[in-house]
Amino acid sequence: MELLCLEMDTIIRARPDPNLLCDDRVLQSLLTIEERFLPQYSYFKGVQKDIQPFMRRMVATWMLEVCEEQKCEEEVFPLAMNYLDRFLAVVPTKKCNLQLLGAVCMFLASKLKETRPLTAEKLCIYTDNSIRPQELLEWELVVLGKLKWNLAAVTPNDFIEHIVRRLPLPEDKLALIRKHVQTFIALCATDFRFAMYPPSMIATGSVGAAICGLQLDSADQSQWGDSLTDLLAKITNTEVDVLKECQEQIERVLVSSLREGRQQQQQQQQQTQRGPSGKGLDELDQSSTPTDVRDVNL
């Protein structure tokens, strides 16, 4: 008799727990502790000498691509970026070690959030073997030390359900809204301008941007009572003006990101027309747009 194991590729997830999601105290606690996990400084102005904001974006984009390709849980990437920013806020880091740091942060975030975490070997392959598993493990210890082992950071993703549940949204659109919000959150994590924002603000702004983007706010104005922004601001105790600005910033980043994505597509098309001789360009391709966002068809 042959024994078949059919459990191979199913990932077991806990169901959303109404005890946690419907209790106001949970949201209040998240709001209280979230600031503790923000990077302490805008590190490009002080701590970091060798690395530039565009390098953070390069490593962030690469991390997002790896997370996408490995089908990581949604919060892995924003959490890894939180580790990266907190580390960079205290440790001057060389450009050539930035990818190692990114890999370490994904390694840690994946271990914290996933039932089947990314392996060190896989991550090293993704760096095109420029780092070794041994180095990854050594630096894991260093990063943990610098983060004071505080890994359970609050991410914008922690707020999604709390916010969405408090809004009068059509049931059949919820999955789509969640997906768009996650995409916006990932997009924010790739952009340093959002690194110092509290996660709740990024989450609230992303929900606002998603609802507006899907035009769910204009369908029936009366159901909202207050405007959407007012309602959102109330949920996470954010100032309305600040929230508005944040949402607009998210929308701007999306637009420029889409534009870059389009240009890149064109470049790639031209390249394929030209044949494999255009390899130099391919290496230059910094793929600075999150893959997920590139697939948003607006």
Partner 1 sequence: MKDLSWTRLPSTDNCGTMDTRKRIGHRIGHRIGKGPARRNLFGPVDREQLQVEYQAALQEDLEEACQRWGFDFISDKPLERSDFQWHAIPANKVPLLYRSCMLGPGRTEGQRTAEAAVKPKGQGRVEPPQSDKENIPCSPERCALNMEKTPERRENTGLKRKQTNITDFYQAKRRVVWMPLKSGE
257-296: which residues touch partner 1 (CB under 8 A)?
Answer: 258, 285, 287, 291-292, 295-296
User: In whole angstroms, how close is the CB of 145 to partner 1 at the nearest point?
Assistant: 4
User: In whole angstroms, how close is the CB of 166 to partner 1 at the nearest point?
Assistant: 23
User: In whole angstroms, how close is the CB of 251 to partner 1 at the nearest point?
Assistant: 5
User: In whole angstroms, how close is the CB of 70 to partner 1 at the nearest point?
Assistant: 8
Q: Is the dihedral of CA 139, 155, 36, 89 positive or negative?
A: positive
Contact flags string 42-81 toward partner 1, x per CB under 8 A: -------------x--xx--x--xx-xx-x----------
Closest CA to 44 of 200, 242, 191: 191
Site for partner 1 contains 155 (CB under 8 A):
no
162-191: which residues touch partner 1 (CB under 8 A)?
Answer: 175-176, 179-180, 183
CA max distance for the chain: 68
Q: How many residues contact partner 1, by CB under 8 A? A: 74
222-261: which residues touch partner 1 (CB under 8 A)?
Answer: 248, 251-252, 254-255, 258
User: In whole angstroms, how close is the CB of 15 to partner 1 at the nearest point?
Assistant: 20
Residues 61 and 290 sit within 8 Å (Cβ to Cβ)? yes
Site for partner 1 contains 214 (CB under 8 A):
yes
Compare residues 46 and 145 and give the one whose CB is closer to partner 1. 145
User: In whole angstroms, how close is the CB of 19 to partner 1 at the nearest point?
Assistant: 27
Q: Cα dist. 82→25, 77, 142, 151, 221 in Å?
A: 24, 9, 16, 9, 37
Compare residues 17 and 50 and give the one whose CB is closer to partner 1. 50
User: Residue 6 burial (CB < 10 Å; 0-12/13-18/19+)?
Assistant: exposed
Candidates 22-30, 83-91, 195-203, 236-244; binding stretch for partner 1 (CB under 8 A):
83-91
Site for partner 1 contains 145 (CB under 8 A):
yes
Residue/partner pairs of 145-153 with CB below 8 Å, 24 or more apart:
146/86, 146/87, 146/90, 146/91, 147/83, 147/86, 147/87, 150/36, 150/37, 151/83, 151/108, 151/109, 151/112, 152/112, 153/37, 153/79, 153/82, 153/83, 153/86
